Chain A
């Protein structure tokens, strides 16, 4: 496997999604298998090397079509990276100094060099495919969801080439890796409305071959994180205005839904797991709700949700590598902000970003 894209960064790197809470995969050497598994080619008896580099946040500003990049320890040192004049990006994936940003209704993937601060290439995807959801499977291959064609495309971000598409469920809009497998989050939308229960298409993380599917109880699969005990916590947003968001607990090995819970309010969009007793879900409609995965009940439900910074709304929630909680303020008419919170949901810092922040990702630069 090729080393990290940037010639300025020859150190081992780690990748983080905003809602990835299992131990991050590490890149070890060019002889590693397709999946970046910990310890591959590493002869150190102490285990894999700790990631190096400065912890850095990458905020996707959807309406502004930019990224805001800043070190966690010095958020005043912010940089803005323009993605292009058109598109509807709402998320992405990062791997060291490289970011892969799907451009939404514009079927393309923007590859960004975070150190150079610029888009190094824009990879065109199949016509009509759309681009939502991305996941680095190694240093160069990114899987991108194509909601318009019910498939995912493997993209070589270094060469700018697109491989043969992999069939998925209806309207894939996210990808998560867990237990040696890749889970494609299928919202099953038709004309932007759920047309049945949400599903997960499961791929082998090494071969990218389909290995199964999981049908969920809720509708409109939106996000997923690895929860306590290695189970996959899957958030379903439900239908617009119906308040039927829910949470499914999936066994990533047996590929079955173990349990499902309702009452997650109107269109929850993202998840973050702070501990085995504290799971947070965000929504534009109410802020942050808190769920206890162990007791399986709400600590703070939609009716008495946390309001970070006094704002009863959140465009997204995420956990950084240092265990800090982040909430995105849904400001889409002017410059937005992200809040860094402590475990009591008090605001530690408020960082200005671009218009309409929709996702925050973490990496090391």
Chain B
């Protein structure tokens, strides 16, 4: 039997690629009891198909009062395309794209505020952040005129903000909630932002409850996926939906061995709402894992 594929021949396959990077990080707490300033510097060098790429992070933070910290960061980032997106995705109506370029965030600005509070024997941490983080050559899956889906690079304008809180109560009980609003829009040929990227919900939220009495641990999380457009235009909107998942884990030590069973239930209420319009969801699914290893 003779096998042949043009993907494996030198004239069709991409030349070997090597993605490598180096990273350095410095962090300094500057002594000042009044403001408690912090400085963080990071740099990264990546080797990409387009040449060397340098990414950085500069962040400064202060705590003007003991229960509030404010951080301001300026960053850049780069991520290479996955080999799966370039060469190995397969399926009906799906095609990889060997010409994909890496994603680049040239100029990100973020401000974040955190406020840890103590409420009796409980701890509450409130957080809020806002950012501007446009992406060049963002990888987005989209159909072409043959309705074949493949990943492609697009420039997008991204702005977002989020608020959240975590309340840690007694007896290992923890409640968390977060809401985010992210505008990620195509950039048109004229440089102006267009519609929200297909299948990127503008708004999302998460509410979770965790409880860890003794060796057991229970986690229930509800996630809201907001309304989204299935096309690169503000039409044919798909409604938002909630899904709830639960996980129960435990840790037992028996005769020198540690047993860690995990039961995970996805779509606990048998929710059927699909994220992608034409891809149905299976509803409630259960997964049981048991990890066995020597007792540490």
Residues of chain A touching chain B, judged by Cβ–Cβ distance below 8 Å, are 62-66, 80, 82-86, 88, 104-106, 284, 315, 330, 332-335, 354-356, 358
Contacts and interface: CB of A to CB of B under 8 A. Distances in A.
Chain B interface size, under 10 / 10 to 19 / 20 to 34 / 35 or more: 20 to 34
B277 A334 contact: no
Given A63-B143, A65-B231, A66-B236, 17 more contacts: A62-B145, A63-B142, A63-B231, A64-B235, A64-B236, A65-B230, A66-B235, A85-B230, A85-B238, A85-B277, A85-B278, A105-B147, A284-B145, A332-B144, A335-B233, A354-B235, A355-B233
Contacts of B235: 64-66, 80, 82, 354
A330 B144 CA distance: 10
A98 B154 CA distance: 37
Q: Which of A63, A65, A104, A315 has the most CB of B within 10 A?
A: A63
A124 to B, nearest CB: 15
B186 A334 contact: yes
B145 A334 contact: no
Contact of A88 (B147, B230, B238): B147
B156 to A, nearest CB: 12
Majority-rule SS of B interface residues: loop
A66 B231 CA distance: 10
Contacts of B231: 63-66, 355
Contacts of B240: none
B160 interface: no
A334 B235 CA distance: 13
B165 interface: no
A331 to B, nearest CB: 9
Interface in B107-165: 142-145, 147, 152, 154
A356 B188 CA distance: 15
Q: Which of B145, B154, B232 has the most CB of A within 10 A?
A: B145
Interface in B182-236: 186, 188-189, 194, 230-233, 235-236
Contacts of B186: 334
A355 B238 CA distance: 18
Given A333-B154, A334-B194, A82 B236 contact: yes
B227 to A, nearest CB: 11
Contact of A66 (B145, B189, B194, B233): B233
B232 A63 contact: yes
Given A64-B231, A333-B152, A334-B189, A356 B145 contact: yes
Q: Which of A62, A80, A334 has the most CB of B within 10 A?
A: A334
Contacts of B144: 63, 332
A357 to B, nearest CB: 10
Contacts of B188: 334-335
23 contacts: A63-B144, A64-B231, A64-B232, A64-B235, A65-B236, A66-B233, A83-B236, A84-B236, A85-B230, A85-B238, A86-B278, A88-B147, A106-B278, A330-B145, A332-B145, A333-B142, A333-B152, A334-B232, A335-B233, A354-B233, A354-B235, A355-B232, A355-B233
Contacts of A354: 233, 235
A237 to B, nearest CB: 13
Contacts of B154: 333
A64 B147 CA distance: 11
A177 B232 CA distance: 35
B145 A64 contact: no
Interface in B228-262: 230-233, 235-238
B168 to A, nearest CB: 41
A63 B277 contact: no
Contacts of A355: 231-233
Given A334-B186, A355-B233, A86 B277 contact: yes
Contacts of B237: 85
Contacts of A315: 145
Nearest to A84: B236
A284 B188 CA distance: 22
Nearest to B140: A333
A63 B236 contact: no
B236 A104 contact: no
A333 B197 CA distance: 11
A80 B234 CA distance: 10
Contacts of B277: 85-86
Q: Which of A64, A88, A284 has the most CB of B within 10 A?
A: A64
